[in-house]
Structure 1
Amino acid sequence: MANFSIADLKALREALGTGMVDTKKALEEAGGDVEKATEILRLKGAKGNAKRADRSTSEGLVATTEKDGVTYLLELACETDFVAKNERFGKLADDVLAAVAAAGADSVESALAAPAGDKTVADLISDEAAIIGEKVELRRVGALKGDAFEVYLHRTNKDLPPQLGVVVAYTGSDAETARSIAQHISFANPSVLTREDVPADAVEKEREIVTEISRSEGKPEAALPKIIEGRLTSYFKQVALLEQDYAKDNKINVAKVLEDAGLTVTGFLRFKVGA
């Protein structure tokens, strides 16, 4: 009989985020030696990483840090909420975030190539995925420069780490309103700052759609231009932050809130796990 207790099994499983059966087998194979069992799980996991490549990663966390006037936001994804809330997964996110900030990485590609000790971030994630026994992927990385920042991290479940993160870069001194804008972004999910930031092809596609809808409704041809522009305005209110109705008072838009507070938003990031 292997020389380990139920407490040893539970502690190792919680430390690594591995499954009960795999952890038990590793401890049995290692004769109760925790370090050896960890190595066994890592080696077995490494062989399984390729097999897990097509699995879905709908859980995970968002994390953020600031360095030298730049705030970084990332999404680290995994398969289950058990792993998402595990301390080992949280430490991996912290290590990846530190490497991303040190390298000034602003994309997944540059982040994966960033040094992390004596290996790269890609190697670090792969090694940890092998131990954890789940697919783990760095899904998104963003970097935002600015004079001042407001960060809002939201937990969709109190037992899980933050799964929705917003970073707002701004000028001005009203931090309270800046935070309120970050919360608004978390709820309203704008994709751009201003209507001018919407890609021209996206605007043209929307114009075609609302034109077809308006004609199918039998609207008079002479009235179409005004109707189409009105519907395009509604579209911009959905996707452009400054055009949106303010979440805390839909009688005014975000642009007016910022103007009254003496703030200028220069950029924002919004990541939601799995979205």
Structure 2
Amino acid sequence: MSAFTAADVKRLRDATGAGMMDCKKALTEADGDYDKAVEFLRVKGAKDVGKRLERSTTNGVVVSKDGALLELDCETDFVAKNADFVALADRLLEIGLQNTPADAEALLNTEVDGQTVAALVEGESARIGEKLVLSRFVAFEGATATYLHKRATDLPPAIGVAVQYSGGSEDAARSLAMHIAAARPRYLTRDEVPAEAVETERRVAEQTAKEEGKPEQAITKIVEGRVNAYYKDFVLLEQPSITEPKRTVKQIVDEAGMTVERFARFEVGQA
């Protein structure tokens, strides 16, 4: 018979968040050895995580610090507003700031406390009982303004923006970050727009114009208008300002004496 006490069970429960019967079984299988019991529960948890792979993660949190953004996703809003879940996101962000990985994939492969960040997330996923996904991470250097937005007052921030800039003021940069949160730009300048995206817009515009019976001599102008409209929708510097719709973001930024170097926008549940 394994030698362990009720206090041992409680200690294991407190450390892992597993159920009482699972902790008793783990200690029994491990002959009372605490470390082996933890390992037993982690293995069991890993199997549970595997069963949850097909679940969608449309809830979560975006956290920010010192010019960095991190998005951690989960399945339900109940977990999204759980203090342990938000604390995990903050911890992952700190690891990212300390190790400066290039992106979320590199962060997942980072070693911390004898395990990878991926294993850490997997272990927390098993403990919490939901699929957790570290979706995105970015860290900017230099002057950076960040903005976090909540979709609901009882939920943590689900949209995060970071803007790296030079010149201008912190207030102007933060105002721009708020614009980005609302306007959803994908690119900074039209030079960043993939050629295939532009070609798709041209093709769709041309085919639509022909099907609508537009005169052949007008099609070129219609196509260019469609492409320019695409730029206004998705290129930050060409978007109409949220605060001053008659002016472009570029006009606002230039007036502020600011140069936008790059930006990132994360939104939970959105690609």
TM range (shorter): 0.7 to 0.9
Contact 2:164 2:260 in 1 (8 A): yes
| CA–CA distance in structure 1, aligned partners of residues 245 and 140 of structure 2 | 28
* Partner SS, residue 87 of structure 2: helix
1:157 aligns with 2:152: yes
Residue in 1 aligned with 2:208?
213
Question: Is the strand fraction higher in 1 or 2?
Answer: 1
1:27/1:119 Cα in 2 relative to 1: closer, same or farther (>3 Å)?
Answer: closer
Q: Select the residue among 150, 162, 184 that pairs with 1:167.
A: 162
CA–CA separation in structure 1 for the residues paired with 2:236 and 2:91: 32
Kept in 2, the 8 Å contact 1:60–1:75? The answer is yes
Corresponding residue SS for 1:269: strand
Aligned match of 2:29: none
What does residue 30 of structure 2 align with?
none
Equivalent position amino acid for 1:114 in 2: T
Cα distance in 1 between the residues matched to 2:232 and 2:161? 19
TM-score (norm 2): 0.84
Query: Can you give the 5+ residue segments of structure 1 that lack an aligned partner in the other structure?
Result: none
Which range moved further: 178-187 or 39-48? Answer: 39-48
Q: Distance in 2 between matches of 1:216 and 1:159?
A: 49
Secondary structure at 1:77 match in 2 = strand
Q: Is residue 60–residue 79 contact of structure 1 (8 Å, CA) maintained in 2? A: yes
Task: Answer whether contact 2:167 2:259 (CA < 8 A) is retained.
Answer: yes
After TM superposition, give the deviation of residue 112 of structure 1 in Å.
0.6
Structure-1 residue corresponding to 2:194: 199
Q: Whole-Å Cα distance in 2 between the matches of residues 96 and 238 of structure 1? A: 33
Is 1:23–1:41's contact at 8 Å kept on the other side of the alignment? Answer: no
Aligned to 1:130: 126
Q: Which amino acid aligns with 1:51?
A: K
Match of 2:101 among 105, 114, 117: 105
Structure-2 separation of matches of 1:164 and 1:23? 34
Quote the offset at 1:55 in angstroms.
Answer: 1.1
The aligned length equals: 253
Task: Give secondary structure in 1 for the equivalent of 2:245.
Answer: strand
Residue 141 of structure 1 is matched in structure 2 by 137
Task: Report the CA distance between 1:25 and its aligned residue.
Answer: 5.0
Matches within 5 A, 1:1-275: 23=19, 44-66=44-66, 71-145=67-141, 147-275=142-270
> Offset at 1:106?
2.1
Equivalent position SS for 1:251:
coil
Contact map agreement 1:191 1:240 (CA 8 A) in 2: yes
CA deviation vs aligned residue, 1:128-159 (integer Å, no higher than 9, x gap): 111111111111122333x3111000111111
Contact 1:45–1:132 (CA under 8 A) maintained in structure 2: no
When normalised by structure 1's length, the TM-score is: 0.83
RMSD: 2.6
Q: CA deviation at 1:92?
A: 1.2
Q: 1:27 to 1:112 in 2, by over 3 A?
A: closer
Large movers: runs of 4+ above 3 Å: 22-30, 38-44
